[in-house]
Structure 1
Amino acid sequence: MIQTVFSTLFQVVVPLSIPVIVGALLKRYRNLDTKALTMLYLYFLSPAIILETLTTAEISYDDVYMTIAFCLLNLLLLWIAAQASGKILKLPSPETAGLTLISCLTNSVNYGLPLVLLAFGKLGLDKASVYVVIQMIIVNTIGVYFAARSQFSVKNALKSVFSLPAIYTAILAVLLRTFNLHLPVGVQTGVAMVAGAYSPVVLTILGAQMVGVNNAELEQKVQTGFWMGVTIRLLVSPLIACFGLYLLNIKGILYSVLFILSSMPVAVNAVVLAERFDASPKLVSKCILWTTLASFIILPVLIAVVK
């Protein structure tokens, strides 16, 4: 077991950490501006890897249905855990909203996809593609609702979802597969080439974002929320994921991939929602920092367990 953990650490986490460290160093010493890179990631690299993966993925309709069912069940259970924790700890409304974002939104896109690719190969990436598309939709709809129920607008949430080109490429990929069509060879090669640049760029962005995350001292109530958020995201969420996977009778490589993706640290874009809707952004940003750092130790253990 220990040998497997160290093997996973060196084969998966070390390669991932190189672009993360480079991004952090560039931000710290060269004040790297990630806005242009983020635009590149959102509007070019992310659609490319989703189109490439979904059009070539070895995934069945059963996998799709099971992934959708798991995402919804897991989201419901995490929401219940966050709401119950907020009530037990008597957290104010903004901290409860922040705790809900921490519990439910995971960094499955710019950290999870490269991790799955290295840990489980192309087949794992195929299985992860549907989960990632669903998470993009959840962040821009239910995530907005969690952050600001009083200011929530279904129209604006849907507009936010359909402002992302990744959604359109996912629809295009589904249509191509449904009608057994293929992209022209030259186009497919170009898309694959762009998709290959996804991992190093998004991990560099992640490293730069980590340097900018606020690690300020927190008030007592917020500090309590922080420890509960870390506990839910790092310890409770893997247990909830296991329970959901067991209920749905999901097995094999799909089990492993969904388990790891649902055990990822807090999504970086959770703090964007927290700042926009005053859902305790200091709490959320500190949880992003520490759950991401802790994940470099915890995830190799979890990967070793499911392998």
Structure 2
Amino acid sequence: MNLILTVLEIVAPVFLLAGLGFLWVKAGFEYRIQFVTRLAMTVAVPCLIFTALMKTEADLASLVTLTLAGTVGYTAIGALGLSLLVVANLNLRTYLAPFIFGNTGNLGIPLALFAFGQPGLEKAVVMLALSAILSFTIGIWLVAGRGSFGKMMKEPMIWATILGALFLWQGWETPRFLTNTLDLIGQMAIPLMLITLGVAVARLTPGRVVTAVWLSLVKLVLCAAVGWGVAHLFGLTGTSFGVLVLQLATPVAVTAYLLAEKYEADSEAVAGFVVVSTLTSVIGLPLLLGLLV
């Protein structure tokens, strides 16, 4: 019973805030998703990443190990996902990138924070940065047939990661007034991302739902299993172990739909994958957290 209550305390705020966004749109209220997303990804999330890295008490070596483990995890998921999609005769441009890269921002960061506290947040932002780098290069190449290194280098959260790692390495700190300001701005990120996730899911029109159902179930189980195996391979324990498994197992991000729409893949099928995998995570991620916490 205590375990169930603990898991509910972790996941309830996350899914309630996402549900708020969902109901807000269904009630017919206005929500300018482009503006809010730009505010979150350009200002709030970079501040959250920078301050989390700057103030972390984790040593740089452990974060490097987590980054290497995450890279191996994504590589393994990519290889297994490629094999699965080929066997199932599904379009690689449509499904492979969404299968590999999960929602490490909107869902992964809040869940890591509530499950593992501040140390979990600090490690989760490392996984978010890694996922963003891979998504803007390999992910776009898988969908469009070409990478976008230039776009990646224009992303504020990439530079926030680089600066945060530099400050951590050198032991630097910003002046207290600036740190407090960045902290305050960063606190916007999590509620904004969760409400926006609910809004985005509410506005999507799912397609190929049957395919999305079985593929979402396979993704959740396979990604969690890969995360578990890679964490053992790298000797990760405690928070690092939990964050790696959790972040790799997150559902398909809404950005996968946006990329499919932009590069003329089957965006309707990707929308179905986003919606179904997100709904699957409502049950799947609490069960996974029950094993991790």
Q: Give the TM interval when normalised to the shorter protein.
A: over 0.9
- Of 264, 276, 285, which residue of structure 1 is paired with 2:250? 264
TM-score, reference length from structure 2: 0.94
- Counterparts in 2 of 1:252 and 1:260: CA distance versus 1, 3 Å: same
Distance 2:131 2:228 in 1: 18
Number of aligned positions between the proteins: 292
**Counterpart of 2:172 in 1: which secondary structure?**
coil
Distance 1:17 1:88 in 2: 34
Name the residue aligned to 2:135.
139
1:271 Cα deviation from its structure 2 partner: 1.0
Q: What residue identity is the alignment partner of 2:149?
A: L
Name the residue aligned to 1:232.
218
**Counterpart of 2:154 in 1: which secondary structure?**
coil
For the 8 Å contact 1:20–1:207, the answer to whether it is kept is: yes
Distance 1:288 1:12 in 2: 22
**Counterpart of 2:171 in 1: which secondary structure?**
coil
Name the residue aligned to 2:101.
105
- Are 2:63 and 1:67 equivalent residues in the alignment? no
Note the residue ranges of structure 2 that are not aligned, 5 or more in a row: none
Name the residue aligned to 1:207.
198
Moved over 4 A (4+): none
Name the residue aligned to 1:127.
123
- Of 161, 176, 190, which residue of structure 2 is paired with 1:185? 176
Name the residue aligned to 1:12.
10
- Are 2:86 and 1:90 equivalent residues in the alignment? no
Q: What residue identity is the alignment partner of 1:18?
A: L
Distance 1:99 1:40 in 2: 28
The worse-fitting range, judged by mean Cα deviation, of 195-204 and 271-280 is: 271-280
1:223 Cα deviation from its structure 2 partner: 4.5
1:3 Cα deviation from its structure 2 partner: 4.4
1:180 Cα deviation from its structure 2 partner: 2.3
TM-score, reference length from structure 1: 0.90
Note the residue ranges of structure 1 that are not aligned, 5 or more in a row: none
Q: What residue identity is the alignment partner of 2:56?
A: A
For the 8 Å contact 2:77–2:226, the answer to whether it is kept is: yes
Name the residue aligned to 2:161.
170
Superposed, 1:263-302 pairs within 5 Å as 263-302=249-288
Distance 2:11 2:165 in 1: 32
- The C-alpha deviation readout for 1:60-101, integer Å capped at 9, x for no partner, is 22222222211221111111112111221223xxx2222212
Distance 1:123 1:187 in 2: 22
Distance 1:231 1:96 in 2: 18
Distance 1:232 1:146 in 2: 20
CA RMSD between the two structures: 1.7
Q: What residue identity is the alignment partner of 1:249?
A: G
Superposed, 1:239-250 pairs within 5 Å as 239-250=225-236
Q: What residue identity is the alignment partner of 1:27?
A: V
Distance 1:148 1:24 in 2: 30
